[in-house]
């Protein structure tokens, strides 16, 4: 996608998020402190400057949609612009927060709302809850991103992917999507483990 690295994205300094060193995986404790760091210590930088610099964490709202006991599982198709993640399954939709998302005072929630509306068509009511944060140092892509995983509970199962050439999606129970686990993006595996663990 031309110009993708010219965009400005919301970042926080890695040492501010992880003053005692980075943890790996999913954290649901101390969320208020993390949210405060993001609210007070975040700033916009050109994506080209931070894409390969782990000193900065690009903040990504990661939206896990659920209706009843079924979750939206998506799969990136060949037309996806993110070559590194093509044809992997994902339990969440998410993206960078841009300067336009601060118009209403909460860049994370505004970014979440915009990202959700860009990815899917959905007319039902939604209720978003912060599940926790995901940090994954296992790959160069994930190392420079910090995910805020939100559970978005919908009142209706009528949800459709907008860019059907780039993304396919369906609602499945955790048990039904288990067969795709090894083909999921790392964040999705981390979230899946968390959701599956909390169901027992």
Residue whose structure tokens are 């509970």: 153
Closest CA to 170 of 91, 74, 90: 74
Instruction: Please name every residue paired with 135 in a beta bridge, in sequence order, or none if there are none.
Output: 25
Q: Higher model confidence: residue 67 or residue 20?
A: 67
| DSSP three-state, residue 128 | strand
Which ranges of 42-153 would DSSP assign to H, the alpha helix? Answer: 47-50, 107-119, 140-143
User: 2 pLDDT band (50/70/90 cuts)?
Assistant: very low
Query: How is the chain split into domains, by residue range?
Result: 6-198
How does pLDDT run across 114-166, given as a tens digit for each residue?
999 999 999 999 999 999 999 998 888 888 999 999 999 999 999 999 999 88
What residue spans of 42-178 are helical by DSSP H? Answer: 47-50, 107-119, 140-143, 174-177
SS3 33: helix
At the top level of CATH, the class of 6-198 is alpha beta
Say what percent of the chain tops pLDDT 70.
92
Question: With b meaning 16 or more CB within 10 Å and e meaning fewer, what string describes 62-71?
Answer: bbbbbbeebb
Mean pLDDT rounded to a whole number for the chain: 89
Over residues 95-126, the pLDDT tens digits come to 999 998 887 778 888 999 999 999 999 999 99
């Amino acid at each position: 996608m031309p110009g993708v690295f010219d965009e400005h994205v919301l970042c926080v300094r890695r040492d501010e998020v992880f003053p005692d060193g980075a943890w790996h995986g999913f954290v649901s404790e101390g969320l208020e402190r993390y949210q405060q760091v993001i609210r007070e210590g975040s700033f916009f930088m050109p994506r080209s400057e931070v894409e390969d610099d782990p000193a900065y964490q690009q903040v990504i709202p990661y939206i896990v949609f659920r209706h009843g006991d079924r979750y939206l599982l998506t799969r990136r198709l060949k037309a996806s612009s993110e070559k590194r993640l093509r044809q992997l399954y994902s339990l969440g939709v998410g993206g960078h927060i841009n300067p336009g998302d601060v118009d209403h005072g909460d860049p994370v929630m505004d970014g979440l709302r915009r990202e959700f509306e860009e990815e899917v068509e959905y007319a039902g009511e939604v209720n978003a809850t912060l599940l926790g944060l995901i940090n994954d140092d296992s790959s160069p892509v994930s190392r420079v991103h910090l995910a805020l995983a939100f559970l978005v509970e919908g009142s209706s199962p009528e949800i459709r992917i907008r860019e059907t050439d780039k993304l396919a999606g369906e609602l499945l129970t955790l048990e039904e999507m288990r067969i795709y686990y090894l083909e999921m993006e790392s964040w999705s595996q981390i979230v899946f483990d968390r959701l599956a663990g909390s169901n027992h």
